Structure 1
């Protein structure tokens, strides 16, 4: 069925306002009508209907009765106010096999209803044009043009890469054969076009240009224009009959049709990118349905990694979305151009991308991340850091993977070689960062003798914390630790003895030593915690 599909509709609305709770039939469902559910009237619900559950809450009996009435190819929309409602709706939709959307309270039902009706009315993505050629099918257009012009046709994009060609029984010269096999014209032909000024003429001319290459058939070529932009090029080679003015007129007409299709294709690609971005953003927040995310992002049955990028902004708030756009476009371009397609989104001042991997490409995410940070520095004049998660097997792991890469990015940048951190190569740092996070969430775990030591430093000017940190950093080497804090090893040894006698922190006890090292890491990474400790009397142990 031609028209609006659920994935296109989601791309139009945006993931900030709508996300998928459950979709057992995928996102390629047609959306052909929008209905308002009325509990007082038994409305007929048909496949392809988008049913708005206005006034229904997850706990209402009518919500479950409505879910039980529909098939998977009907779409239900409910307002969801909190995680408890989302969990309830998800459980009901899974029980009844229903396709359900969660609508943000910030979007009014009137807005959603109006947008759905307008989208359904204007959707004609699969309708043929006046020639009978389906919109978006450039190969069909090339065949149609070849039949009219009685010569083989090739359609290139704006970078001169072949995107479609006719497949009728026409003669093939070397230029056409190379173009089809390698998706680009031969280098010698391109050099000849540039040296003779053919391509600049084509870009400037509003009518087709005749091209007579030294080693190929005569051709007509015209630019495919979208306003003032060059969208691509349309070529026809001379075959059975000489290409005349009538041929040029037909080629120009075909170029106008190709422009509409290329513009529609670009719009479709933009919507697809936006939908994939919204799905990934919701998955990172733990809101999306894992099965839908895996299917739509191409993660079914594959392993993948999450890569995060953040601009260097020491001491500054996270950048707003418009500031992130150039970097997000760069990441999307590189990820989209890679051998394996991923998804890209921005959230809270960071950019995240999924990247499928296999046994043959274990180092590809790290290589790609290094190239992106380098390009950001050279082209955008922006310092960027990146972090790569461990290997993931399910979209349900994305929220936890996000926390893991965020922790890696919170680590101090010790040197330029650590601009790209991989979880696999930074396991110790990652574990210590997560344990520190747990300590911060549970302040009682920072109590004890070491907290008293920190209070002493704060209130009395002692240097116990710095001495203990130097001792740990030096791996217990008193000479190296003393050098780090500019005291003799014996002075440092005396300080450690005082820490044991006064605060009860015995570094000869393995358990106490481990806890002390974790607490020192937390107080060092977050000096504001030192100010929050209450003054306490110090009693020798």
Structure 2
């Protein structure tokens, strides 16, 4: 199958994650592979490959770019800014960069998966694991299961005639190993071992196990367990080690596909949120019908020394909770805010946001706020819902950590009116300035009296109660106000405009006046 071109690869992963600085040979050049630079080994001749400049500072990458050109490579990827663009131009090599804090192994997984003919579907990785479990079971002679580090069963063998016990039955039924103190101890022994281990039966009626950890580098990716009924093949341990090596490759490939799918989903969601998506974006994201944007933000981000990393952890928490509720789900971090697209209808959205805020606050040890925009009829209107959510975020605080736009609609309207009135000269002029000016020059309390009068629904007794004065005092002030400032309180339009201007531009309420 034809290799991706550099342009096609950038369509998949380009943007904030991978930036192109120069492509002197054009974007139609092929990308056949992604290599990690090793300073202690000669650079292989690999036409069409991208080279990740591991351990090389961008400003010192000139010689590596020249070497890459001699090896026929398509491009070099540096970490950070300030790469040798002029050297790359001169030698016909593309120069790309990733963020300074990007992990090279994650960049490699992302680019290697994108450089293939297409991302492997998630189900394909599981199918390969099931095939591997069957192959191991047939070779060693015992029922086999592949697990992740959290003891979730990813795949299991279905070879007929092999012995099983109650532990295996229960684990497969729930796709989760039953929790017990004895199980925990066996996992501790397994992950501390350097190879396969034989573990005794946990209780009467159960069978022993032969198990091995699945690792890549220093990272534990999972484990493989074989039911041992006493008839395993003589070379079972060696076969299990080989199976673990294959499982590591399959799990890494599955992770790469998931990372790529998440990146693509995040990029599609970003386009939907900023209104730049085409008509096919929602379909590729797998959403249709009514949707709502939920926005999550750290309550004290400004005071955190590692705010960016904490925001990334918040993204993980939001994504995990949304995937648990809705399956495969796209979330994206934009300008410190984590956005998620929730499918309608929206009856349970506030409860989900409250759960996420509670879990994230506990996990990150910082307060988290959540705002929900209006439910819109189709994903193409997601930008409108996002605008609502962004407004609601500005109204949240310790006393109101979670809110939907419908719940705080009056405050949202006043917030937007405040901005609008403040931007236009003709909307900010009027009698309210004369009232405030009179109070400042003469020590009167006309503005306070007006606001209380309005907040009391133009009821004199209610206004007097808010002011803490006799109703006659309130009545006298309002008569004097009209005579000295020219305000006509009998005009309903003037009352409305005056109240809005005092409420928004002066920021006065009965509680604050």
TM-score with structure 1 setting the length:
0.68
Q: CA deviation at 1:157?
A: 0.9
Given that residues 200 and 208 in structure 2 are in contact (C-alpha distance below 8 angstroms), is that contact kept between their aligned partners in structure 1?
yes
Cα distance in structure 1, aligned partners of 2:159 and 2:474: 87
Distance 1:201 1:424, change over 3 A: same
Q: CA deviation at 1:152?
A: 2.4
Tell whether 2:280 aligns with 1:326.
no
What's the counterpart of residue 269 of structure 1?
258
Q: What SS is found at the alignment partner of 2:244? A: helix
Cα distance in structure 1, aligned partners of 2:200 and 2:469: 84
Given that residues 8 and 271 in structure 1 are in contact (C-alpha distance below 8 angstroms), is that contact kept between their aligned partners in structure 2?
no
Given that residues 125 and 135 in structure 1 are in contact (C-alpha distance below 8 angstroms), is that contact kept between their aligned partners in structure 2?
no
Given that residues 134 and 140 in structure 1 are in contact (C-alpha distance below 8 angstroms), is that contact kept between their aligned partners in structure 2?
no
Q: CA deviation at 1:315?
A: 9.0
Distance 1:145 1:402, change over 3 A: same
Aligned length: 434
Bigger drift between 309-318 and 441-450 goes to 309-318
What's the counterpart of residue 284 of structure 2?
296
What's the counterpart of residue 363 of structure 1?
347
Instruction: State how 1:334-353 maps to structure 2 within 5 Å.
Output: 334-353=321-340
Q: 1:206 aligns with which of 194, 197, 200?
A: 194
TM-score with structure 2 setting the length:
0.72
Q: CA deviation at 1:332?
A: 2.2
Q: What SS is found at the alignment partner of 1:163? A: strand
What's the counterpart of residue 139 of structure 1?
130
Deviations 1:47-87 (A, max 9, x none): x999xxxxxxxxxxxxxxxxxxxxxxxxxxxxxxxxxxxxx
Q: 2:244 aligns with which of 255, 265, 276?
A: 255
Q: CA deviation at 1:382?
A: 1.5
Cα distance in structure 2, aligned partners of 1:318 and 1:293: 36
Tell whether 2:156 aligns with 1:168.
no
What's the counterpart of residue 372 of structure 2?
388
Q: 2:297 aligns with which of 304, 307, 310?
A: 310
Tell whether 2:430 aligns with 1:448.
yes
What's the counterpart of residue 193 of structure 1?
183
Distance 1:294 1:121, change over 3 A: closer
Q: CA deviation at 1:179?
A: 2.1
What's the counterpart of residue 246 of structure 1?
235
Structure 1 gap ranges (5+): 20-33, 38-44, 51-105, 528-541
Q: CA deviation at 1:201?
A: 0.6
Cα distance in structure 2, aligned partners of 1:455 and 1:245: 97
Distance 1:184 1:135, change over 3 A: closer
Query: Superposition RMSD on alpha carbons, in Å?
Result: 4.1
What's the counterpart of residue 472 of structure 2?
490
Q: 2:360 aligns with which of 362, 367, 376?
A: 376
What's the counterpart of residue 95 of structure 1?
none
Cα distance in structure 1, aligned partners of 2:470 and 2:401: 36
Q: CA deviation at 1:423?
A: 1.8
What's the counterpart of residue 150 of structure 1?
141
Given that residues 389 and 401 in structure 1 are in contact (C-alpha distance below 8 angstroms), is that contact kept between their aligned partners in structure 2?
yes
Tell whether 2:507 aligns with 1:517.
no
Q: CA deviation at 1:154?
A: 1.1
Q: CA deviation at 1:289?
A: 1.4
Q: CA deviation at 1:112?
A: 10
Runs of 4+ deviating beyond 6 Å:
5-8, 16-19, 106-112, 125-128, 133-136, 314-319
Given that residues 153 and 237 in structure 1 are in contact (C-alpha distance below 8 angstroms), is that contact kept between their aligned partners in structure 2?
yes
Given that residues 273 and 382 in structure 2 are in contact (C-alpha distance below 8 angstroms), is that contact kept between their aligned partners in structure 1?
yes
Given that residues 453 and 465 in structure 1 are in contact (C-alpha distance below 8 angstroms), is that contact kept between their aligned partners in structure 2?
yes
What's the counterpart of residue 65 of structure 2?
none
Q: 1:178 aligns with which of 170, 186, 194?
A: 170
Q: What SS is found at the alignment partner of 1:425? A: coil
Q: CA deviation at 1:211?
A: 3.0
Cα distance in structure 2, aligned partners of 1:456 and 1:304: 51
Distance 1:173 1:294, change over 3 A: same
Instruction: State how 1:405-424 maps to structure 2 within 5 Å.
Output: 405-411=389-395, 413=397, 416=399, 418-424=400-406
Q: What SS is found at the alignment partner of 2:457? A: coil
Given that residues 224 and 256 in structure 1 are in contact (C-alpha distance below 8 angstroms), is that contact kept between their aligned partners in structure 2?
yes
Cα distance in structure 1, aligned partners of 2:263 and 2:293: 18
Cα distance in structure 1, aligned partners of 2:380 and 2:470: 53
